[in-house]
Amino acid sequence: MLKKTGLLLLFSAGFLSTKAQQTIPFRITKYNNIIVKTVVNKKDSLDLMFQIAMKDGAISPERKRKADHIIFNKEEISENNTVDIGKLSFKDILFTDNQLTGPEADGKIGTGLFEGKAFTIDYDNNQFVIFDKMPDLKGFQPIQTIYDQDAFYVVGDNVIDGHRQEEGHFVLQSGYSGGILYSNPFAEEKDLNKKLKITGEKTLKDSKGRSLVTKQAVLPFFKLGDMVFKNISIAFFAGEIKTQNVSYLGADMLRRFIWVFDADRKTAYIKPSKYYSEPYYKIN
């Protein structure tokens, strides 16, 4: 059985390599963020966090490395930049200045690297693979995606109270380290504060004294496609500040699958990665 499985894996890897046009290596931080090593405008060596919920790039004010060769205008926009990753070179990349990013990153880079192409986020081998044509999808299951304003939306089923499934739309958000973060409207409508087991709470106040309460809780069941997760760690906001208008499917959930996105961004294909059964990440 082990020999047969090994042969299948070798055959699958070999088949994918014949279809693959380009590969981009990455590393995963302890915060579940994807970091890509880049050289911008042939001069600035920057570690950029991959952000699936944006198309372009951004530079952080808290960066550790210099970005002296990215020239910004008065609107803090820089156009027509080149980004080199290994032997690959990408042109006409736009950067925005002064956007915060995840730990260990000097900025962010989005899905503009894959413009007009199908691509894979391969968490098993720590790489993106860019295709001219769709690869072999044996073992993957399709899930519908809505691509709107540079972000991917997927539908997940949430079992909050008993066995009733509550459908929700989630933005794929690789910059959020946790698994699921619910929007304020969803949390209030479904009364998550009373219906879920609360495991943690943190309160912050703004300059006007208004409170932002982050609550950690346990969701009995979550379903994406045909795959069901039990007792999943989730978060939502409470208090007077209500700015979270969309729900996130964060990096802790993204890493549990290998993802293939088609070129027209209407369908994603998923199958379990090596992280599928890892313990859930808990936001401090």
pLDDT tens digits along 243-264: 899 999 999 999 999 999 999 9
User: Which pLDDT does position 207 carry in this prediction?
Assistant: 62
Give the CATH number of domain 12-131: 2.40.70.10
Burial of 1 (0-12, 13-18, 19+ CB in 10 A): exposed
User: Which pLDDT does position 13 carry in this prediction?
Assistant: 41
To the nearest whole number, what is the mean pLDDT of the chain? 89
User: Which pLDDT does position 243 carry in this prediction?
Assistant: 85
pLDDT at 241 over 90: no
User: 12-50: buried (b, 16+ CB within 10 Å) or exposed (e) per residue?
Assistant: eeeebeeeeebbbebeebebbbbbbebbbbeebebbbbb
Three-state DSSP state, 122? strand
Amino acid at 234: I
User: Which pLDDT does position 202 carry in this prediction?
Assistant: 84
Which pairing describes strands 227-239 and 180-182: parallel, antiparallel, or unpaired? Answer: parallel
Instruction: Give me the residues paired with residue 267 across strands.
Output: 144
Give pLDDT tens digits for 19-29: 558 999 999 99
* DSSP code per residue over 208-229: T--EEEEEEEEEEEEEETTEEE
Of the pLDDT bands very low, low, confident and very high (cuts 50, 70, 90), residue 14 is very low
- The contacts of residue 205 (CB under 8 Å, 6+ apart) are 211, 212
User: Which pLDDT does position 165 carry in this prediction?
Assistant: 82
* DSSP code per residue over 213-271: EEEEEEEEEEEETTEEEEEEEEEEEEES-----SEEEEHHHHTTEEEEE-TTSSEEEEE
Backbone φ and ψ of 81, nearest 5°:
-95, 155
238 or 96: which leads in pLDDT: 96
pLDDT at 9 over 60: no
User: Which pLDDT does position 115 carry in this prediction?
Assistant: 92
User: Which pLDDT does position 127 carry in this prediction?
Assistant: 97
6 or 203: which leads in pLDDT: 203
User: Which pLDDT does position 164 carry in this prediction?
Assistant: 74
Give pLDDT tens digits for 66-92: 999 999 999 999 999 999 998 899 999
Which candidate, 86, 74, 38, 247, places its Cα nearest to that of 158? Answer: 247
> CATH number of the domain at 141-269, out of 3.40.30.10, 2.40.70.10, 2.60.120.10, 2.160.10.10?
2.40.70.10
User: Which pLDDT does position 201 carry in this prediction?
Assistant: 87
User: Which pLDDT does position 267 carry in this prediction?
Assistant: 96
**Where do the CATH 2.40.70.10 domains begin and end in the chain?**
12-131, 141-269
For the sheet containing 257-261, what is the strand order?
A: 20-25, 127-131, 118-122, 257-261, 267-272, 141-144
Give pLDDT tens digits for 124-154: 999 999 998 899 999 999 999 999 999 999 9
